[in-house]
Amino acid sequence: MTPQGLDNTGKGRATPKRKESESKRKKSSLSPIVGKEQKKAAKALAKQNRLVQRAAYLRGEDSALPIRDRGPVRRFVRNYVDSRRSTGEYFLPIIFLVLILTLIPVAAIQIAAIALMYGVLLFAVIDGFFLARRIRRIVEEKFPDTPTKGLGMYAWLRSTQMRRLRAPHPTVKVGESIK
């Protein structure tokens, strides 16, 4: 023993460099060793799974739908909305037309275009109000003891989307009767 209470034997090896110690600490024994090919294969598989899931969602399969869209009541509401024409689905093309008309430097045309826009908006809101009331009444008759909270807004929001942009895609044609 030395005067400080330490022995002279030492640890028998050199002190590791900081770089070596940090690299040992950073490598996890739990993470698998993955090569570029495995990463590419995993990425391709994930992409394929997403495409399959999206296709099922667009077809309207219940297992692929978000919770807010699941169930026979929501399916009925979607089909009811898709079986009729509404003013709201034409709102976006009308806004585009209004944008073009406001570029014309004639004040009467600009004012008429803006009045058209507000008129269609007001008509779409009124149509949505009556659609919501009708949907609640029909659902109460067809699906007794089913809560109707939120169904009117769900129907109105779907009716304001352009038909070809709706998701899930419409499964009924316009004018087709709903069972």
Structural domain spans, the chain: 36-65, 68-165
Does 3 have pLDDT greater than 60? Answer: no
pLDDT band at 15 (very low <50, low <70, confident <90, very high): confident
| The pLDDT of residue 2 | 54
Which residue, chain included where needed, has tokens 């495995």? 38
Does 1 have pLDDT greater than 70? Answer: no
| The pLDDT of residue 77 | 95
How far apart are alpha carbons 61 and 79 in whole angstroms? 14
Peptide linkage before 105 cis (omega within 30 of 0): no
Residue 175 to residues 24, 48, 56, 73, 151: CA-CA distances in angstroms? 69, 36, 25, 20, 21
How far apart are alpha carbons 90 and 116 in whole angstroms? 12
Does 117 have pLDDT greater than 60? Answer: yes
- Structure-block tokens of residue 5: 């209470």
Smallest CA-to-CA distance from 128 within 146, 95, 149, 154 is with 154
82: number of Cβ within 10 Å? 20
102-114 pLDDT, tens digit per residue, is 999 999 999 999 9
Residue 71 to residues 139, 143, 149: CA-CA distances in angstroms? 13, 12, 14
For residues 10 and 143, which has the higher predicted lDDT (pLDDT)?
143
Percent of the chain with pLDDT over 70: 89
Average pLDDT, stretch 96-123?
Answer: 95
Average pLDDT, stretch 104-131?
Answer: 95
Q: Which of 16-20, 130-134, 148-152, 166-170 has the lowest mean pLDDT?
A: 16-20
Query: What SS3 state is found at 51?
Result: helix
Does 5 have pLDDT greater than 70? Answer: no
